[in-house]
Amino acid sequence: MKTDEIRQRYLDFFKSKGHTVCTSDVLVPKWDPTVLFTPAGMNPFKDHFLGNVELEFTRATSSQKCLRTGDIENVGRTAYHHTFFEMLGNFSFGDYFKKDAIHWAWEFLVDKQWMGIDPERLTVTVYLDDDEASDIWHKEVGLPLDRIERLGEHDNFWPAGAPTDGPDGVCGPCSEIFFHPDDGPECEIWNLVFTQFNRSGDPPNNLSPLPSKNIDTGMGLERMAATLQGVETNFHIDSLLPIVHAAAEVCGIKYEANTDNGRRMRRITDHVRACTMAIHENVLPGKEKENYTVRRLLRRAVLQGYQIGLRDPFLAQLVPAVVDSLKVPYPELAQTVDSVQKAITNEENDFYHLIENNLRFVEQMIEDAKQSKATEIDAAEAARLFQTRGVPPELTSELAAEAELGFNWDNYQAEMARHGAASGTLVDGVMGNSGPIDEFKNKLKKTTFTGYDCTSGTATVLG
Ligand code: ATP
Ligand code: MG
Ligand code: MG
Ligand code: MG
């Protein structure tokens, strides 16, 4: 089943269960002080969960564009992680709770009319003391107990660790559904969150019950497509493989999945997709916050090409493939192809110059490390190069990795902090408040926020 069809079936299924279909909210929610990028389908509905808005509907479903910088290192290495991806979700605001959420998830997954997955291939997890969810899975759905695992806060409380150690905001125990392919690792396809608490820091770790019990679920669209299409990685699904091949073509190589270059093509694919989506929303590569994330993603993608010998800008050529792969859910991408390509090419050119002017310094650093039989790059020297010549740490770390040397990001940041410099580190919020982002967004809100088209300030209703 094609990716576009899975998305549509999901929305149709939940529409048939009385849900209002909402369009994706933006990828970069400038009005939300807690996140740089939308990390999950529930984020546009935070105020609905908190009871801060008058509800026009109590059941909603959406396919939300998401970006998780926290997964950046996983991309290309694991089979199932992207930075940009689409999350399908169904939400209940004080309407149905665990019983319906679990029954409907199961029906959607195994019923031939919908996904038709072999139930024998599915297992679930529940939170340690969640007898209610376990009973529904076992006694009502009929799943044997040995396929229901009970896990702790890290896995089965969302956001991870929330009861004692997570970010503030709405949270609750969750139940995750895993698909087990013939070969390869199991794949977490769907997380059902039973949102019933608001966690706040006043007093610390205070979990207070929300005005009502809610449901928030998230299913990775690309993971579901990989499952149904029987391919070994998300990058081989119908909507992503053409970009992977286009990347290989502009790089002048043949795509072979299980090689270093194969991993590089997957990274380029992911990063150019994420950058296209962000730049489409007018978030250009830059020095701070979300702009810096875009710069970092772009540079990482360029470096993949650089390492196989490219010396000219190439990334922008992949934008049409990205736009084509997402033309069904986001036809508006076609209108910004030129400007997105221009922004990418400018940044690529700048980065090539930066590499040319500084390669010898980085190579010297690598040479020094080898001479002194160190296993990693000298973090102080890397920080100095950034401050004096603008050599970005991602360049240093990538070239170091190539030379089989480590790059200790913690030490690097400590060095930067010692000099009182911005670390250039990515911050990935889920729901929590993080001081610096907070301040930055609040400032933004006061000065440049001019309002967005959608009247509710959250998701726009399709009908
Ligand atoms: P994982 O453990 O695989 O990192 P997660 O537990 O962090 O996933 P959730 O926060 O539960 O993910 O998000 C809900 C769903 O979104 C997941 O079950 C998965 O299908 C999908 N998903 C999460 N992160 C990614 C990602 N980086 N790329 C693609 N899909 C993802
Ligand atoms: Mg994760
Ligand atoms: Mg998980
Ligand atoms: Mg999960």
Same domain (yes/no): 299, 170: no
pLDDT of residue 161: 63
Do 207 and 72 belong together in one domain?
Answer: yes
Please say whether the beta carbons of 246 and 254 come within 8 A. Answer: no
**Using N-to-C axis directions, what is the helix angle for 260-280 and 289-307, rounded to 10°?**
150
Does 273 lie in the same domain as 167? no
ipTM of the complex: 0.99
Q: Which ligand is nearest to the CA of 216?
A: 1
d(CA 335, CA 105) in angstroms, rounded, equals: 36
Q: Are residues 82 and 193 in the same domain?
A: yes
Does 78 lie in the same domain as 213?
yes
Q: Look at ligand 1, atom 20, and give the residue with the nearest C-alpha.
A: 220
Residue 447 binned pLDDT confidence (cut-offs 50, 70, 90): very low
How far is 176 from 171, CA to CA, in rounded Å?
15
| Residue 456 within any structural domain of the chain | no
Does 435 map to a domain? no
Question: What residue type is assigned to position 219 of the chain?
Answer: M
3-state DSSP of 113-140: CCCCCCHHHEEEEEECCCHHHHHHHHHH
Instruction: Specify whether the CB–CB gap between 88 and 60 falls below 8 A.
Output: no
Q: Which domain holds residue 207?
A: 3-229
> Which residue's C-alpha comes closest to atom 25 of ligand 1?
81
Is it the case that residue 440 has pLDDT exceeding 60?
no
d(CA 346, CA 284): 11
**What residues are in contact with ligand 1 under a 6 Å CB criterion?**
40, 68, 71, 80-82, 85, 87, 188-191, 218-220, 222-223
Asked if residue 76 is part of any domain, the answer here is yes
H helices present in 40-115, as ranges:
46-50, 98-110
| pLDDT tens per residue, range 53-96 | 898 999 999 999 999 999 988 897 899 999 999 999 999 999 99
Q: Are residues 207 and 252 in the same domain?
A: no
Q: What pLDDT digit, counting tens, does each position of 93-114 carry? A: 999 999 999 999 999 999 999 9
Ligand 1 centre distance from Cα of residue 220 (Å): 6
Expressed in angstroms and rounded, the spacing between residue 188 Cα and the centre of ligand 4 is 7
To test the pocket of ligand 1, the residue of 67, 72, 73, 80 to mutate (highest count of ligand atoms within 8 Å of its CB) is: 80
Task: Give the percent of the chain with pLDDT over 90.
Answer: 70
Taking each helix axis from N to C end, the angle separating 241-251 and 260-280, rounded to the nearest 10 degrees, works out to 110
Asked if 248 and 255 touch (Cβ cutoff 8 Å), the reply is yes
How far is the first Cα of the chain from the last one, in angstroms, to the nearest whole number?
25
Domain annotation covers residue 119:
yes
Of the residues 229, 248, 267, which one is the last residue of a structural domain?
229
pTM, whole model, 2 decimals?
A: 0.87
Cα atoms in the 13 Å half-sphere on the side-chain side of 124 = 29
**Predicted local confidence at residue 414, as pLDDT:** 93
Answer whether residue 415 shows pLDDT above 50.
Answer: yes
Distance 120 CA to ligand 1 centre (A): 22
Mean pLDDT of 203-208: 77
My answer on whether 225 and 247 are in the same domain is no
Would residue 257 count as lying in a domain?
A: yes
User: Would 434 be classed as within a structural domain?
Assistant: no
Residues 382 and 296 in one domain: yes
Identify the H or E element spanning 387: helix 379-389
Report residue 334 CA to chain centroid gap. Answer: 23
Compute the average pLDDT of residues 258-281.
96
Comparing 430 with 179, which gets the higher pLDDT? 179
254 C-alpha to ligand 2 centroid (Å): 30
- Beta pairing partners, 190: 177, 219
Across 172-191, average pLDDT: 94
Is 164 in the same domain as 266? no
Nearest Cα residue to atom 9 of ligand 1: 191
Query: Which ligand is the nearest neighbour of the Cα of 220?
Result: 1
Q: What's the domain count of the chain?
A: 2
Assess whether 104 and 165 both reside in one domain.
yes
Residues whose CB is under 5 A from ligand 3 (ion)?
188
Mean pLDDT of 23-51: 91
Query: Which residue's alpha carbon is at the smallest distance from atom 21 of ligand 1?
Result: 220
**Are 117 and 244 in a shared domain?**
no
Cα separation, 223 vs 190, whole angstroms: 9
Asked, for residue 347, whether it belongs to a domain, the answer is yes
Instruction: State the pLDDT at residue 444.
Output: 34
Give mean pLDDT, residues 211-221.
Answer: 94
Q: What distance in Å separates the CA atoms of residue 196 and residue 101, rounded to the nearest whole number?
A: 14
Ligand 2 mean position, distance from CA 71 (Å): 7
Among residues 210, 229, 248, the one where a domain terminates is 229
Q: Is residue 197's pLDDT more than 50?
A: yes
| Domain match, 65 and 214 both | yes
List the residue whose alpha carbon is closest to atom 8 of ligand 1: 188
Query: Per-residue pLDDT for 334 more than 90?
Result: yes
Question: Among residues 388, 403, 418, which one ends one of the domains?
Answer: 418
Q: Looking at this protein, which amino acid is placed at residue 75? A: V
Which pLDDT band, with edges at 50, 70 and 90, does 460 fall under? very low
Q: How many Å lie between the centroid of ligand 4 and the Cα of residue 168?
A: 18
155 vs 317, more confident: 317
**What ligand 1 atom has the least distance to the C-alpha of 40?**
13
Amino acid 153: pLDDT: 87
What pLDDT band is residue 451 in, cutting at 50, 70 and 90? very low
CA of 207 to the centre of ligand 2 (A): 23
Look at residue 444 and tell me if it is in a domain: no
Q: Looking at per-residue confidence, does 226 or 403 come out higher?
A: 226
Residue 156's pLDDT band, with cuts at 50, 70 and 90, is very high
Q: Are strands 122-127 and 148-151 parallel, antiparallel or unpaired?
A: parallel
CATH number of the domain encompassing residue 24: 3.30.930.10
